[in-house]
Amino acid sequence: MEINYTSASTTEELMQILSIQQMNLRSSVTATEMAREGFVTVEHSLELLTKMNNAFPHTIAKHKGKVVGYALSMTQDFKDDISVLRPMFTEIEKNHLQNYITMGQICVAKTHRKQGVFRGLYAAMKKIAFPIYTSIITEVDATNSRSLSAHYAIGFTKICTYRSLGQDWELISLRTS
């Protein structure tokens, strides 16, 4: 199966990202699916997703012209636009981290999981981000063991664990060089 990795550039691609996101929100999956497959926490609007993409492009995986996975890029300029992510940026500041791009959310369509797409998305994102940024930083809900395992398997390292909005989060980083 041929998967192409690239930067999002059209409204249609952004709408396909939102469609995958809707199917994988914590509120859209069963407890069994959450434990086995993971989930996403934040729901974006097309307007915000477009603004984020214009600041630094999202990385997408496409199969037969259709988006089957994405890794959202979020510059520091958006730290106040998504309330659930504000504590993450506070932790980044507390840890004196610099020269990074934030991966705002990563998700692979259910039809394309366990085929290397997650790894491919991060490999492509690293190429796009380097040499502009020296690291990719993200946070993962500490109960999302599927996502944490996948991130650690490709080289992310833990910066810290913190509590926000009644749950624990792991702040993690991946070097781009």
Q: Contact 91/121 with Cβ under 8 angstroms?
A: no
- Tokens 């059209």 sit at which residue? 10
Residue 1 predicted with pLDDT over 80: no
Segment 96-101 mean pLDDT:
95
Q: What is the pLDDT of residue 84?
A: 83
CA dist., res. 29 & res. 122, Å (int) = 24
Neighbour tally for 97: CB within 10 Å: 16
In 3D, which of 136, 132, 152 has the Cα closest to residue 144? Answer: 152
pLDDT confidence of residue 143: 87
pTM of the model: 0.92
pLDDT in tens, 11-49: 999 999 999 999 988 888 888 887 777 778 888 999 999
pLDDT above 90 (res 104): no
- Residue spans per domain, the chain: 4-175
Is the model's pLDDT at 146 over the cut of 90? no
- State both tokens at 127: 């190429």
pLDDT tens across 50-88, in order? 999 999 999 999 999 999 999 999 999 998 888 888 999
In one letter, which amino acid is 109? Answer: A
Superfamily in which the 4-175 domain is placed by CATH: Gcn5-related N-acetyltransferase (GNAT) (3.40.630.30)
Q: String of b and e for 72-81 (b: at least 16 CB within 10 Å)? A: bbbeeebbee
Report the share of the chain in percent with pLDDT over 90.
78
